[in-house]
Structure 1
């Protein structure tokens, strides 16, 4: 009786240490990676992006022209600022439209140069595009100095 008890215990310990058979999980078609775009589809998507960016940019241009402001654009054209002098101080509109992803439009109003400088000091643009940042700061200071 002792030998059968120990044999069954050995079988249980051996079966516990063996890995269980794994089954391959099939991905749902919605979870699979996207197919690469064909040449025609890619060209159509790029054309639509150009048209929508042009419409976005024209709205920014009209706003700057109506307020006698200036537009500053990055070299790649994905980021633009409209610096407009208003009665309360300075309005800065920032529009970012990357080739893929979300578009962002922000409008800030600054009462004084100090608030504008604090915003410039904390804006991450100063690291990513220091020339555009310096030009934005210059335009903002010129707009505030034009009031004096």
Structure 2
């Protein structure tokens, strides 16, 4: 039964692109944002935007706003797009993560530097590994007899 539920959860992730966005402050006092999406997304491109300005993008044709030059870096690994931004101001800002593949999906988060928690590896793993964890756990369940 669990295998059926796990399969349905994974199927729902693959039929429509869903993205989640988490943020935290690193020990170096930088902003880290993790935008998670289905890990089987073919050739994903990731872009972070703030107030219609490109903060960082994996697409070389997206011009990075000069305000963020040498301050922002974005990478894609598995089912996560990671943004690191130095020099985050104390004012509240909204950031949008846009994932482009076969479909476009986006999500926005409000970032208040003074209210953000400190990054931990457990928090990052928790936010980006849920679909993989379901698949791993499902493989340990006994099959039908």
- Verify same fold: TM over 0.5: no
Q: Which protein shows a greater Rg?
A: 1
Q: Which is richer in helix?
A: 1
TM-score by length of 2: 0.31
Q: Which has the higher contact order (CA 8 A, sep 6+)?
A: 2
More strand by share: 2
